[in-house]
Amino acid sequence: MRLIAALTIVGGLYAALAPGVSQAEDTPPLSADAVQGKQLYETTCISCHGPNAQGVENRGPSLIGAGSAAVEFQVGTGRMPMARQEAQAQKKPPHYSWEQAAQIGAYIQELGGGPTLPKGQKLRATDEKAISRGGELYRINCSACHGFGLGGGALSSGKYAPSLNDASDREIYAAMLTGPQNMPVFGDAQLTPEEKLAVIGYIQSLKANKDPGGFGMKRFGPVSEGLMIFLVGMVALVFATLWIAGKS
């Protein structure tokens, strides 16, 4: 009887503890970058996104499945952490460097997966044929919100498409991959990695090209530029007429 009782107790303890042991063994350890990222996450992100990145109601969404690309974009551009809830997270001087943002992204990536930025390669096309193709893709997919001259524009409900004039290759690629705010997601099924590089190449080449013929008014477009020239010219003509009339 004592033997049966002892076996029963041991079996019960094993049944209670074995799942936890198995689960612990199945959970892989965090990488070195993810360990650093977890420390940074618990310093500034945990209050809104929760201890396991599953979100906090009325504060911040779950980051499970968001991927490192989304974290790098939001944190690396200073959009996160937010001081308060607004219609749109605004770009500002970042609280963390891009390296630290990548570490936080590595932690979120290992928690729940998601889209990641390519590593070890340039994130822009440089040959003229690819850049020309990137221009076509940009005009079809991006210019309606960001403008033909990269200046951005207003959207509904207090949101806006930001200017791309100071956006880096990494920032643009991450935005296309994750679709922040009102921006659609351009996954590899919508734009292949090569097409993304072509779009970035076109954007950066457009910023490098200077406007011929003088002041370009930030490329607002021929209608607005022509109207401004007309108004300035008419005012100059009126003053010239008055001056001539006064002299005569």
Q: Give the tens place of pLDDT for each residue, 133-191.
A: 999 999 999 999 999 889 999 998 889 999 999 999 999 999 999 999 899 999 999 99
Give the end of a domain, one of 72, 94, 116.
Answer: 116
Which one has a higher pLDDT value, 159 or 225? 159
Q: Tell whether 48 is in a known binding site.
A: yes
Give the end of a domain, one of 116, 150, 180.
Answer: 116
Instruction: State whether 85 and 145 are in the same domain.
Output: no
Q: Tell whether 146 is in a known binding site.
A: yes
Q: Tell whether 45 is in a known binding site.
A: yes
Query: How many domains in the chain?
Result: 2
Q: Which contacts (CB < 8 Å, 24+ apart) does range 51-58 have?
A: 52/111, 53/108, 53/111, 53/112
Domain membership flag for residue 208: yes
Q: In the Cβ-directed half-sphere of 185, how many Cα atoms lie within 13 Å?
A: 10
Which one has a higher pLDDT value, 2 or 229? 229
Q: Tell whether 227 is in a known binding site.
A: no
Residues 78-97: what's their mean pLDDT? Answer: 90
Instruction: State whether 134 and 200 are in the same domain.
Output: yes
Domain membership flag for residue 7: no
Q: Tell whether 27 is in a known binding site.
A: no
Top mean-pLDDT range of 8-17, 162-171, 201-210 = 162-171
pTM value is 0.76
Exposed e or buried b per residue across 151-178, where buried means at least 16 C-beta atoms within 10 angstroms of its C-beta: beeeeeeeebbbbbeebebbbbbbbbbb
Instruction: State whether 73 and 134 are in the same domain.
Output: no
Q: Tell whether 49 is in a known binding site.
A: yes
Instruction: State whether 94 and 164 are in the same domain.
Output: no
Residue-averaged pLDDT of the chain:
87
Range of lowest pLDDT (111-125, 188-202, 219-233): 219-233
Domain membership flag for residue 84: yes
Instruction: State whether 106 and 139 are in the same domain.
Output: no
CATH at 134: 1.10.760.10
Domain membership flag for residue 247: no
pLDDT at 24: 46
The range of the structural domain enclosing residue 167 comes to 128-237
